[in-house]
Amino acid sequence: MQSRLNPASLVICEYCDAVYSRTPLKRREKAHCLQCGSELYRNARVDIDVMLALTLASAIMFVIANCYPIVELNMSGLSNRATLWDTLLFTLDSNVGVIAVFAAASAFFFPLIQILLFAYVLIPLRAGRKPRAFIGAMHALREMQPWSMVEVFMLGAVVSVIKLTAVAAVAAQIGLWGFATLTLLLTVLSSFDLQDLWDQSEALDA
């Protein structure tokens, strides 16, 4: 293993610094670090068609999830319904406005930017070329990943609905199903390893 040290053929475990030489994997195979057990890499080729399809589906779902109310609440003849933006704006005007800023970033802006950046990167890659701001877009995608929390907002909406059923008539609206689907799509989309996309796009440099 240490006979030739060609950096391109090596992989380093990001959790424990162990060095391995890359070996080709079969479909759906994963390589794990012998020392610490972390995943090193997967079957290298990312399917760009699949990723792009997921991105476009996410974009549609994002629009649906945000245009329709998530929950409607009825109490003694009065009713309130809320979309994500109703929630953000109402919270912004409340005594805890700073929460709205965080929620807007993690449940709206970061997921939206992620979807747009994926489209920006994947559409040219599919056509065999790199977009102009490839490097910047890829860094932004990686850095936004941990702060994008559609799935947590989704669970929060479900918890709110169940909590309110105890005291009033609540009905889940189209927006909630939109968010549920969006959560699913984004989970699959972000399970792809961005580092594979780097490797794959490198061939396009020449």
Partner 1 sequence: MNNSSRARDLKLISCHACGLVLDNQEELRHSRCTRCDEHVYTRKPNSLSRSWAYLIAATILYIPANLLPIMLTTKMYNTLSSTIVSGVIDLWQDGAWDLAIIVFTASVVVPILKLGLMTFLLISTQRKSTWRQRERTKLYRIIEHIGHWSMLDVFVVALLITLVHFNKLALVQAGPGIVAFAAVVVLTMLSSMSFDPRLIWDTDEPKSSTPPDNGQTNG
Residue 152 near residue 102, CB atoms below 8 Å: no
**Out of partner 1, Zn ion, none, which partner does residue 105 contact, by CB within 5 to 8 A per kind?**
none
Of positions 33, 157, 185, 189, contacts Zn ion by CB under 5 A: 33
Pick between residue 11 and residue 184 the one whose CB is nearest to Zn ion.
Answer: 11
Task: Using CB under 8 A, list all residues that contact partner 1.
Answer: 1-2, 5, 7-8, 10-12, 14-20, 34-38, 41, 70-71, 73, 75-76, 78, 80, 82, 86-88, 90-91, 94-96, 98-100, 102-103, 106-107, 135, 138-139, 142, 146-147, 149, 152-153, 155-157, 159-160, 162-164, 166-168, 170, 194-195, 198-199, 202
Pick between residue 57 and residue 83 the one whose CB is nearest to partner 1.
Answer: 83
- Which residue type is seen at 164? L
Smallest distance from the beta carbon of 64 to partner 1, in angstroms? 18
Window of 17-25, 70-78, 125-133, 165-173 that interacts with Zn ion by CB under 5 A:
17-25
- 35 lines the binding site for Zn ion (CB under 5 A): yes
d(CA 134, CA 166): 50
Sign for the CA dihedral angle at 174, 179, 182, 183 comes to negative
Pick between residue 61 and residue 84 the one whose CB is nearest to partner 1.
Answer: 84
E strand or H helix at 187, and its extent? helix 174-190
- 23 lines the binding site for Zn ion (CB under 5 A): no
d(CA 155, CA 37): 30
Extract the tokens encoding 147. 């702060």
**Out of partner 1, Zn ion, none, which partner does residue 24 contact, by CB within 5 to 8 A per kind?**
none
Q: What is the DSSP string of 64-99?
A: HHHHS-SEEEEETTEEEEE-HHHHHHHHHHSTTHHH
Window of 3-11, 27-35, 60-68, 78-86 that interacts with Zn ion by CB under 5 A:
27-35
What does DSSP assign to residue 105? I
Give Cα separations from 130 to 119, 121, 173, 192 (angstroms): 12, 7, 40, 18
Measured distance between the N- and C-terminal CA atoms of the chain, rounded to whole angstroms: 29
Pick between residue 81 and residue 130 the one whose CB is nearest to Zn ion.
Answer: 130
